[in-house]
Amino acid sequence: MSGDSEKYWYNLTTGEVEHGYVSPHVDRAGPFETAEEAARAPEIIRERSRAWAEEERREDASQMNAPENDEN
């Protein structure tokens, strides 16, 4: 993780963009390459959450539709 201390982070508590390890890790989202990207963190997090939820729904549906492997 070298170099992460020089990247940008979004503070989940204050909503501020920070450069480096300013706040405790529990309050930070990131790292991001630019301040502009870090400022979009809430939007990026929502997009990724939606994508992960959709992927899980597809996997669940795929498993439900898969034939059971009956070894009787």
Residue 52 has pLDDT above 70, yes or no: yes
What would the mean pLDDT of 30-37 be, rounded to a whole number?
97
Would you state the pLDDT for residue 20?
96
- How many Cβ atoms from other residues are within 10 Å of residue 26's Cβ? 7
Residue 36 has pLDDT above 90, yes or no: yes
Q: What is the pTM of this model?
A: 0.73
Residue 57, judged by CB atoms within 10 A of its CB (0-12, 13-18, 19+), counts as exposed
Confidence tier at 55 by pLDDT (50, 70, 90)? very high
Mean pLDDT of the chain: 91
Strands 8-11 and 28-32, bridge-based pairing: antiparallel
